[in-house]
Amino acid sequence: MAKYEEDFELDALLEANQEEAEDAASETEGVDTRLSAEQEAAIEKIESSGYKRNTDYGGVAARRGFLFTRVEERKGINRGFFAVERESLNLVAESLGDYGEVDSSKGVFKLDGSYSEYAIQGAGRIVPAAHQISRIDWDYVTPLACDHDFDPGVIFARGAKLFPGFHVTSPNGDTCVELSQMSPIAGFFVSGGRIVRPDVVDYTLKVYTSMAAPTAERLERIRRVVDGTLFELNVKSNLALSLKPRDRVALPRVMRSFKPVKSVSFPATEIPREVAALFSFAAEARDNPPFAFLSYYQILEYYMPLASKRDSLKRIRREIRDFSFNVASDASILRVLNAAERVKGLGEEDALKILVRDCVREDTLEAFFDAEGVREHFSRKGPIAGVPSINPAATNESLAVQVAKRVYALRNRIVHAKDDPRYSERPQLLPRSSEANSLELDVMLSRFVALETIADLQD
């Protein structure tokens, strides 16, 4: 994260926490903000795990909690901010070493694989997920068939007494799934540095397992239970919830430095309505990188026939203009026919290669890959597996061909099912996965190629 951006984010975070704290000031009136020896020891323990307390976090907000930042940056994610309420400080300090962060979504897991907890969100709803969850009259088996503690609390809504959340156990008794208020340790990792008001309740999905298996198998079992739970809540309870995705990998600074043009003039660009709609949707789908990528790819699909037709006409004209062309010669006529027939037997990947080669300016394409961090992303060591790498310095293939091959392969990874034997070596790229969260530069590449194509194929 660039320094100036980190400072801006911290200022905004401090301001937001201060406002929330002031709103709830009456509940913290009289709280001593001086640190006890026990609190100092807890903060030291958190800092020894790779976090640093932010001492700018003061005033009214300091009555309610503490703000930390990660000392070392991790590849693929920003340094980030972490917050903990005062009453949870010791608990978080004691348990921090037993937990790790989930890669593809906001959540935590115990390092032995026995427990995971995921932050959840409402799917496409303005109403927060917590509001929906707290107003459902949950029906599940009680007393519990396991030895876990579960206190759903009580909420009074619409004149009724409700017990939000649930805790249920698998038939063989080795796995439990629970929907309940967020735990302090999860709150530390997924808070983003915000300490919410005491009257705000957030819910998480938790899975416990005692199955006798290695850690990786336990975590895989937990994830299957999470997926199944969200699916059944959707189809049985009409409650569309999803896991909160981890923040997407930030674009290199150079890629973010584009400054919009402020001057406005009558539009000189005339594009088909379909293309305009797809381009608009790609911007709307910014929080879903695979969707955004596919929208830009559909723009390329729209123009592929036109680019291929233009290439075919160019080849036909070249044959006709050949000094050896003879209208009475069967060989000359056949060369023209072959040039015309070539476009009919063209596969989608070859059509895309023609489009990128003919529509994208070579110097601008090279400039795209000169930005900081771009070449690393598209290299063999980049975050996206199962697609060709791009090496601008390669001599065996042109940069345009490499770009087309990667864009086409990535499209296949997003749209084709895992059990299709043609794509068995390239498993499907799933939404909200760590790879999906790392797609930003591939999305930018597809957008760049789409813009070059639109400009080149203007009437």
Domain ranges of the chain: 3-243, 254-456
Other CB atoms within a 10 A radius of the CB of residue 37 amount to 7
Whether 128 shows a pLDDT value over 50: the answer reads yes
Given this model, what pLDDT does residue 405 score? Answer: 96
Given this model, what pLDDT does residue 317 score? Answer: 78
Whether 429 shows a pLDDT value over 90: the answer reads no
Given this model, what pLDDT does residue 36 score? Answer: 86
Q: Which is nearest to 78 in space by CA: 182, 8, 129, 21?
A: 8
pLDDT tens-place string over residues 170-180: 999 999 999 99
d(CA 53, CA 359): 52
- Consecutive H or E run containing 389: none
**Lowest-pLDDT range of 199-213, 272-286, 293-307, 324-338:** 324-338
pLDDT classification of 277: cutoffs 50, 70, 90:
very high
d(CA 126, CA 120): 14
Q: Considering the chain, what is the average pLDDT of its residues?
A: 81
pLDDT tens-place string over residues 356-412: 999 999 999 999 998 888 999 999 999 998 899 999 999 899 999 999 999 999 999
C-alpha angle with apex 105: 104 to 110, nearest 5 degrees?
90
Residues found in the chain:
459
Given this model, what pLDDT does residue 220 score? Answer: 93
Give the contacts of 20 (CB within 8 A, at least 6 positions apart). 61, 194, 195, 196, 197
Give me the long-range contacts of 216-220 (CB less than 8 A, separation at least 24): 216/113, 217/113, 218/112, 218/113, 218/114, 219/109, 219/113, 219/116
Whether 229 shows a pLDDT value over 70: the answer reads yes
C-alpha angle with apex 429: 126 to 251, nearest 5 degrees?
70
Given this model, what pLDDT does residue 3 score? Answer: 44
From the number of C-beta atoms within 10 Å of its C-beta (0-12, 13-18, 19+), residue 274 rates as exposed
Q: Which is nearest to 425 in space by CA: 439, 409, 437, 441?
A: 409
pLDDT classification of 422: cutoffs 50, 70, 90:
low
Helices (H), 183-288: 184-190, 215-237, 253-256, 273-284
Given this model, what pLDDT does residue 251 score? Answer: 56
pLDDT classification of 293: cutoffs 50, 70, 90:
very high
Over pLDDT 70: what percentage of the chain?
78
Amino acid, single-letter form, for residue 361: R
Given this model, what pLDDT does residue 257 score? Answer: 46
d(CA 402, CA 385): 15
Estimate to the nearest angstrom the gap between the alpha carbon of 75 and the chain centroid.
15
- More confident position, 418 or 367: 367
pLDDT tens-place string over residues 29-78: 555 567 888 989 999 999 998 898 887 655 445 577 888 888 876 554 54
What is the value of pTM for the model shown?
Answer: 0.69
Amino acid, single-letter form, for residue 168: V
Is 133:181 a contact under the CB 8 Å cutoff?
no
d(CA 76, CA 247): 10
**Lowest-pLDDT range of 220-224, 329-333, 381-385, 408-412:** 329-333
Over pLDDT 90: what percentage of the chain?
38
pLDDT tens-place string over residues 316-328: 777 777 777 777 7
Other CB atoms within a 10 A radius of the CB of residue 101 amount to 16
pLDDT classification of 80: cutoffs 50, 70, 90:
confident
For 335, how many CA atoms within 13 A lie in the half-sphere containing its CB? 16
Give the contacts of 79 (CB within 8 A, at least 6 positions apart). 1, 6, 69, 70, 72, 73
pLDDT classification of 4: cutoffs 50, 70, 90:
very low
- More confident position, 11 or 290: 290
Q: Which is nearest to 46 in space by CA: 185, 175, 180, 149?
A: 185
